[in-house]
Structure 1
Amino acid sequence: MKTHIVLVHGACHQAWHLHLLAQTLDAAGYTTSTPQLPSAALDPTGPSCTLAGDTAVITAALEAAAATSDAILPVFHSYAGVPGSEAVAALSNSAKAKIPRLVYLAAFVLEPGTNVLAADGGDGSESSSWIGRQGDCTLPVPDPIATFYHDVEPALAAQAVKHLVKQAYEPMAAKATQAGWKLFPVTYVFCAEDRAVPAECMRARVETILGDERLRGRWEVLTLEGGHSPFLSRPDECARVIRRAAGEDVGVDGWR
Structure 2
Amino acid sequence: MNEKDQQPVILLVHGAWHRPLHYRLLIQAFQQQGFTVLAPPLASSGYDDSIDGKTYQDDVKRIHDAVLSYIDGGRKVVAIGHSYGAIPLSVAIDGHSIAEREQKGLVGGFGSVIYVAPTPVLHKGISMYEAAGEHYKTPFFHDVSDTRMPLKLDRVKEAFLSDIDQSIADEIIPPLCHQSKAPSKFLSFAPRKT
TM-score, length-scaled by structure 1: 0.61
Superposed CA offset, 1:147-186 (max 9, x none): 1122223222111111100000000111134526x55xxx
Aligned length: 178
Paired residue type of 1:11 = A
Equivalent residue for 1:130? 138
TM-superposed CA distance for 1:109, in Å, is: 4.2
In structure 1, the residue matched to 2:186 is: 174
The alignment partner of 2:172 has SS state of helix
Structure 2 counterpart of 1:60, one-letter code: D
Q: Report what 1:106 is aligned to.
A: 117
2: CA distance between counterparts of 1:48 and 1:122? 20
Q: Residues of 1 paired with 2:188 and 2:69: CA distance?
A: 24
Distance 2:95 2:184 in 1: 20
Deviation at residue 106 of structure 1 after TM alignment: 0.5
Q: How does 1:187-202 map to 2 (within 5 A)?
A: none
Q: Contact 1:7/1:75 (CA < 8 Å) preserved in 2?
A: yes
Aligned-residue offset at 1:45: 4.6
Flag the 1:146–1:59 CA change in 2: closer, same or farther, 3 A: same
**Is 1:153 the counterpart of 2:165 in the alignment?**
yes
Distance in 2 (CA, whole Å) between partners of 1:113 and 1:73 is: 28
Partner residue in 2 for 1:50? 55
Deviating beyond 4 angstroms after TM superposition, the runs of 4 or more aligned structure 1 residues are: 44-48
CA offsets per residue over residues 193-233 of structure 1, 9 Å max, x none? xxxxxxxxxxxxxxxxxxxxxxxxxxxxxxxxxxxxxxxxx
CA contact (8 A) 2:8 2:35 kept: yes
Matches within 5 A, 1:1-256: 1-46=6-51, 49-68=54-73, 70-91=75-96, 93-94=100-101, 98-110=109-121, 111-117=123-129, 122-123=132-133, 125-126=134-135, 129-130=137-138, 133-141=144-152, 143-179=155-191
More deviation, 140-149/108-117: 108-117
User: Match of 2:115, as an amino acid?
Assistant: Y
Conserved 8 A contact 1:76-1:104 = yes
In the alignment, structure 1 segments of 5+ residues that lack a partner are 184-256
Higher relative contact order (CA 8 A, sep 6+): 2
Q: Is the 8 A contact 2:127 2:187 kept in 1?
A: yes
Q: Scaled by the length of structure 2, what TM-score is found?
A: 0.79
Counterpart CA distance in 1 for 2:170 and 2:33 is 27
1:117–1:17 Cα change, 3 Å: same
Q: Which runs of 5+ in 2 are unaligned?
A: 1-5
Q: Percent identity?
A: 21
AA of the residue aligned to 1:86: V
> Alpha carbons of 1:112 and 1:57: their partners in 2 closer, same or farther (altered >3 Å)?
farther
Change (3 A) 1:154 1:96: farther
**Displacement after TM superposition at 1:122 (Å):** 2.8
2:159 aligns to what SS in structure 1?
helix
